[in-house]
Structure 1
Amino acid sequence: MDRSLVHKMFLIESDSDEELEKIAKLAMEEEISSNGRSKQHRKFIWRDRLQAHKDILSDYFAKEPLYPHKYFWRRFRMSHPLFQRIQCAVESHDTYFVQNRDGSRRLGCSSLQKITTAIRMLAYGVTTDFVDQYLKIGETTIIESLKRFVKAVISVLF
């Protein structure tokens, strides 16, 4: 469909309800006939991002974490101070990693979640599904985080 329904409504000369109904009906027919079915919307999957952030904080980044530092090394393939230096550098380089609110005013993923997904994918060579189970981040956000993380690290180093 080349023009939206709202755009077509503004283009018509008369204000009659019959004309508006005709345009609405035509627009629906065009949409259905263009792909053989009505427009599909994305399915929303509730991920408790805030709880996932709290979990990773209590597991690895609290004053007394659930897992000792040797487990941190095993999971992240680096020391805790090195991870924090990388996180600080990446956050200051790219505002994508700063936590903010989405369109519905919910808190988005934290920088800790985004950077952890990128590091785990690089360290283990795992898929997005594997990372999503623990960190509760969608596939597109994981891929975007990985791309931006690699670009940020390269920019900071070189």
Structure 2
Amino acid sequence: MVCQPTEEQPQWGGFIAGRSYKPRNRAMTHANLMNNYFDLNSVYTEEDFRCCYRMRRHVFERLLCDVQQVNPYFRQKRDRAGRPSFSPHQKVTVALRMMAYGSPADSIDETHGMFESTCLDTFQEFCDTIVQLYKEEYLREPNQEDLNRLLRKAEDRGFSGMIGSLDCMHWDWKNCTTRWQGGFSGRSRKPTVVLDAIASYDT
């Protein structure tokens, strides 16, 4: 018996010889997104936008502008067939949805018409770009100048010696492996990760 060589399946789906192509209407999904959230007379209000995106629209627009300047991946190009690729609004929206809601990549296809592999690439590019953009300002340890400023501000408000407010939350770990679930489960009996943060008056 001779075994026929089989083509290795990509880790995250994607194109495989013999698999039928599913046409996605990128232009239509972009138009729907703009009509819902970004056009002058959009369907959803500013408060709806904040609820859905977990940020205000002007913050999203600044983020959108910044990532396009740093990473060409977020600029709209044309594919091999000459059609416009996913728009910057679509790519950043998909990355934020995956991050804010923990949406799996394969579920994005239904609402945004983006392949699972493209979703994962977009999410990776977005995370790398955010670190590159903001690590010097937001993703670093406070230096002595920062600490002195925070201590002065707290003292002016009657809290001498305090640099910030400690807060924590339990984040549900939906994809926790079975063997680790016991060590990460508490009263809720669901695996969670505790996130701690010290928030200053300006962050």
TM superposition score normalised by structure 2:
0.58
Correspondence for 2:89: 112
SS where residue 35 of structure 1 aligns?
A: coil
Correspondence list, 1:1-158, <5 A:
33-35=4-6, 40-158=17-135
Instruction: Write the distance in 2 (CA, Å) between the matches of 1:94 and 1:47.
Output: 24
What SS does the aligned partner of 2:61 have? helix
Tell me which amino acid in the other structure corresponds to 1:82. V
Give, in whole Å, the separation in 2 of the partners of 1:34 and 1:144: 28
What residue identity is the alignment partner of 1:73? R
Q: Unpaired runs of 5+ in structure 1?
A: 1-31
Q: Alignment length, in residue pairs?
A: 126
Distance in 1 between the 2:126 and 2:21 partners?
A: 26
* More strand by percentage: 2
Shift of 1:133: 1.7
- C-alpha offsets along residues 28-84 of structure 1, whole Å, 9 cap, x if unaligned? xxxx83339xx9334311111000000000100001110111110111000000000
Q: 1:76, 1:130 → 2: CA distance? A: 17
Higher RCO (C-alpha under 8 Å, 6+ residues apart) = 1
Give me the CA root mean square deviation.
1.9
Query: Which one has a bigger Cα radius of gyration?
Result: 1
